[in-house]
Amino acid sequence: MTKVSINEVKDKDDVLLISATASSQEFAYKDDNFLRTQVSINTQKILKLANYLIHMKKDRMSIYFDSKNSSYVKGVIRNIQNSYEKKQAQIVSLLDISSGFKNILNDVKQNNPNVIFIIANALDTAKLAQYLRLNNIDSQLASAAWAKELKLITEGGKAVEGMLFSTGYDDNSNDKSYKNFIKNYESLYGHVPSVFAAQAYETAKILIEALKNNSSAKDIKKYILSKKSFKGLQGKIVFDKYGDVKRDYFIVTIKNGKYKKIEL
């Protein structure tokens, strides 16, 4: 949807797009009317996870992906492949999840990966993880940040225990701003916010600040990019000249039904 929307407004100077979740690398390094607070998929982010997996002797990877989100998926796959090749590790198979879980199971048995990387939404990732575990596949599971939300844990249960991610968000951060946000969100909505809710909140705060000082799309963009740095829920959000942001990355796993940062 981001790709379609950008194309629709690319020649309209009076329209500014801002996203809290779009992370495709396809949108990076472009001076256009699109800003985002989600980090672009990049080699550094994926390389951190790849290095950790290879350190664990997980050097034979199969990738199962949802091609319906092709812009995002292509970027993740490309960076995984580059990261594994740099370490002389192997991508032993690539398969679209639309081919069916039975075909994926056969692919796993045929190629014998010691790590399975799933690129899909939370529900599909949870279902595939359960299917593989029920069929006695014990390979290490890893996933893209697309799936990293509470639904993955509630739907996946024990099957997603130990799954690994590379992310810029710590669900257990002790940052005062983040803890206050969690408290207020739970009080208002009755459940724990996802990482996407947190990023949407940060995005709204940045946009509201810009709107207080400007009225036109051009001026809003200029204000955000000239100020560059804004206070987020977990540290600073820093925009580059293209309207993309940078964050620190770390490895997260699921332990006892909760996301937990791994101290390296």
Contact 142, 115 (CB under 8 A): yes
pLDDT of residue 255: 95
Residue 61, φ and ψ in degrees, nearest 5? -110, 135
pLDDT per position as a tens digit, 180-204: 999 999 999 998 888 889 989 999 9
Q: What is the pLDDT of residue 125?
A: 97
Number of C-alpha atoms within 13 angstroms, CB side, residue 73?
17
Distance in Å from the first CA to the final CA of the chain = 36
Q: 3-class DSSP state for residue 247?
A: coil
The model carries a pTM of 0.80
What DSSP element (H or E) covers 225?
Answer: helix 217-227
- Per residue in 86-109, pLDDT tens? 888 899 999 999 999 999 999 999
User: What pLDDT was estimated at residue 208?
Assistant: 94
Rounded CA separation 159/47 (Å): 25
- pLDDT for the residue 43: 67
Model pLDDT for residues 143-157, shown as the tens digit of each residue: 988 899 889 999 999
Complete domains list, the chain, with CATH: 2-39+174-246 (3.40.50.2300), 43-167 (3.40.50.2300)
Task: Report pLDDT for 42.
Answer: 67
pLDDT given at position 162: 97
| Residue segments in the chain with a per-residue pLDDT below the cut of 50 | none
